[in-house]
Amino acid sequence: MLITVSGPAGSGKSTLAESLADALDYEHVSGGDIFRDLAEERGMTPLELNKQAEEDEDIDRDLDRRLRDIARKRDEVVLESRLAGWMAGDYADLKVWLSAPLEIRAERISQRENKPIEQAREETRERGESEAHRYNEYYNIDFDDLSIYDLSINTARWGPQGVLSLTLHAVQSYKETGDEGKTPITDVEYDL
């Protein structure tokens, strides 16, 4: 089974993906880890590569190509990134979307990165707008369209263990024989 975990910065993607992979004895593949690998391959820091990605779309496309290749070739994986659900597309067996209000996400990022909450809020808002614009421009993906996801969880309502329990229940309840069909992903231009 291939499971994707997607959502905006600070929504709890890494927390869920790590614990879900552990609980299922699956491999956890993080888009952030792939991005850090890309930076290392180019002799850059992740921050330097992120700045360059704003001007060079090949960086995003390289990351997305790697995510799509993993989705196509591997099984028993929890694939985590903002676009994991979109990039895995029909290869994914279960697509999970995590969200939380901006204030909550900014507070989490502020604590995680040891920066003022106002700075975290503004950076998170700007980053989200920039990424949504790029995703739409590159692939015709509307980041706000959640119709492709099988499960959507507001992580401000449950703690990490509650989010894991909800997701595990969905995974363990899934029966391929009772599956009447995934939401098809249409109009996306996988020009990788």
Report the b/e string of 45-69 with b at 16+ CB within 10 A. eeeebeeebeeeeebbbbbbebbbe
Greatest CA separation for the chain: 50
Q: Are 12 and 107 in contact (CB under 8 A)?
A: no
Instruction: State the DSSP code for 49.
Output: H
Q: Are strands 2-6 and 94-99 parallel, antiparallel or unpaired?
A: parallel
First to last CA, the chain: 24
73 belongs to an annotated ligand binding site: no
Bridge partners of residue 94, in order along the sequence: 3
181 belongs to an annotated ligand binding site: no
15 belongs to an annotated ligand binding site: yes
31 belongs to an annotated ligand binding site: no
128 belongs to an annotated ligand binding site: no
Sign, CA dihedral 125-130-134-140, equals positive
4 belongs to an annotated ligand binding site: no
175 belongs to an annotated ligand binding site: no
173 belongs to an annotated ligand binding site: no
Residues annotated in the binding site, as ranges? 7-15
Residues annotated in the binding site for ATP, as ranges? 7-15
